[in-house]
């Protein structure tokens, strides 16, 4: 692997990160002719006729507006207290990508669910846009508990969290210091700290890590003096004969009608791309430190048999205290579990949350 400005590594969205940042790349003709893989029931934009959806806003502890979609089963008995689940989206995505799907499917199974946009992304507040702040991301999950726990139809002692991709690590970080989260599940989890410090399969050297940090630090001078903001990581905007399997996997979701979504006020060129100067904050993010202190609250780690991110779920499972379970989905990759309803183990999620979100 080359040094200096050409250092590359595979990171949180599973795509190529250049420490020089990502410019405003435009979509090429590849996207216009590319046919997404819609196999195994890929249905990211699923709309359920069994639930009602209401857009909601609430403040986190930093007085920032967090926006979410609240899904309520149409047959819910609102004069009783019901279990609820918070659903977090993949890193760099928004609630319309994967988390709305999960939230609706779980609402169909009797839960009140809330999919939220993390701060700095989607419809939630936070400047600059696309900033990385693991502590605030974790706070958003706790703020979602604040909101749900004060609804008359939600049992505040029966609130669980479900984090997809990077949100898996943010949900764990939140749960370590918020015992109101009674059950924690992750799907295709990325430990965003380890992914940035070490790369996948520990492919990043200490020298390369220091170069990434140094370049991000120098970029701070540029932006402090009014220069252009640079972005990094995220999903590539075009494919070619040299594109990696992981790049193709994410492109198939984020850059095609299968899962492409641009929030109001954003642009396709910036979606999924964190700011270069803030992305290094993941280097200080250690979500698995003290993960055993979540015990005896139960944890479920779901990952695909062929997922490039499988190492993170296996590591979390190894370090977690009891109760814990590692669930491997046969034949599934990382992004497969974003939207392929024939592969996503909704029955397993339902049984996990029904068993662990109930009156004791």
Count of domains observed in the chain: 1
- Give yes or no for a contact between 236 and 16, defined as CB atoms under 8 angstroms apart: yes
- Alpha-carbon Rg for the chain in angstroms: 19
- pLDDT for the residue numbered 265: 83
Rounded to whole angstroms, how far apart are CA atoms 165 and 220?
28
Tokens of 103: 């939230």
Domain membership flag for residue 90: yes
Rounded Cα–Cα distance for residues 109 and 158 (Å): 15
Q: Which long-range contacts (CB under 8 A, 24 or more apart) does 76-80 make?
A: 76/110, 76/112, 76/153, 78/152, 78/153, 79/153, 80/153
Q: Name the pTM for this structure.
A: 0.92
Question: Do the Cβ atoms of 264 and 96 come closer than 8 Å?
Answer: no
The 3-state DSSP class for residue 80 equals coil
Report yes or no on 329 lying in a domain: yes
Alpha helices in the chain (DSSP H): 29-33, 99-107, 134-149, 167-176, 192-198, 206-224, 245-254, 276-279, 310-319, 336-339, 346-356
Q: State the residue range of the domain holding 243.
A: 4-353
pLDDT computed for residue 34 by the predictor: 86
Predicted confidence (pLDDT) per residue in 1-18, tens digit: 333 322 333 443 433 343
Q: Is residue 288 part of a domain?
A: yes
Is the CB of residue 304 less than 8 Å from the CB of residue 317?
no
Question: Residue 358 domain-assigned?
Answer: no
Does residue 194 lie in a domain region? yes
Q: Which two tokens stand for residue 293?
A: 């202190």
Residues 17-36 as b or e (16 or more Cβ within 10 Å = b): bbbebbeeeeeeebbeebeb
CATH number at residue 226: 3.40.50.1820
> Within a domain: residue 360?
no
CA distances from 219 to 121, 245, 276, 279 (A): 22, 30, 8, 12
User: pLDDT at position 9, please?
Assistant: 35
pLDDT beneath 70: ranges in the chain = 1-32, 360
Q: Reduced to 3 states, what is the DSSP secondary structure of residue 226?
A: coil
Crossing angle for the helix pair 167-176 and 134-149, nearest 10 degrees?
A: 70
For every residue of 31-66, DSSP letters joined together read HHH-----TTTB-TT---SSEEEEEEEEE-TTS-EE
Instruction: Note whether residue 155 is domain-resident.
Output: yes
Using CA atoms, how far residue 137 sits from 163, 212, 285, in Å, is 11, 23, 11
| pLDDT score at 32 | 57
């Amino acid at each position: 692997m080359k040094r200096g400005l050409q250092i590359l590594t595979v990171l949180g969205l599973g795509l190529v990160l250049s420490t020089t940042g990502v410019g405003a790349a435009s979509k090429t003709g590849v996207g216009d002719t590319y046919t997404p893989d819609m196999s195994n029931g890929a249905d990211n934009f699923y709309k359920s006729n069994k639930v009602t959806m209401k857009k909601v806003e609430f403040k986190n502890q930093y007085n920032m507006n967090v926006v979410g979609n609240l899904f309520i089963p149409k047959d819910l008995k609102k004069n009783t207290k019901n279990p609820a689940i918070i659903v977090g989206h993949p890193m760099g995505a928004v609630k319309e990508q994967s988390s709305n799907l999960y939230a609706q499917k779980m609402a169909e199974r009797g839960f009140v669910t809330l999919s939220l946009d993390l701060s700095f992304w989607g419809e939630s507040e936070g400047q600059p846009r696309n900033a990385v702040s693991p502590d605030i991301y974790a706070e958003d999950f706790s703020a979602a508990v604040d909101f749900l726990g004060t609804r008359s139809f939600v049992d505040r002692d029966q609130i669980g969290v479900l984090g997809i991709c990077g949100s898996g690590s943010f949900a764990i970080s939140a749960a370590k210091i918020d015992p109101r989260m009674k059950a924690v599940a992750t799907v295709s989890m990325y430990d965003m700290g380890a992914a940035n410090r070490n790369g996948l399969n520990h492919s990043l050297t200490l020298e390369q890590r220091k170069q990434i940090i140094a370049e991000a630090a120098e970029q701070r001078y540029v932006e402090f003096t009014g220069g252009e903001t640079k972005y990094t990581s995220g999903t590539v905007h075009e494919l070619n004969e040299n594109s990696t399997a992981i790049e193709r996997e994410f492109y198939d979701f984020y850059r095609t009608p299968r899962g492409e979504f641009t929030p109001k006020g954003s642009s396709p060129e910036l979606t999924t791309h964190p700011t270069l100067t803030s992305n290094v904050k993941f280097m200080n993010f250690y979500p698995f430190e003290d993960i055993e202190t979540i015990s005896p609250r139960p944890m479920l780690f779901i990952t695909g048999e062929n997922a490039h991110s499988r190492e993170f779920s296996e590591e979390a499972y190894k370090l977690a205290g009891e109760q814990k379970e590692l669930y491997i989905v046969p034949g599934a990759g990382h992004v497969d579990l974003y939207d392929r309803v024939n592969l996503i183990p909704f029955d397993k999620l339902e049984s996990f949350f029904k068993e662990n979100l109930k009156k004791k």
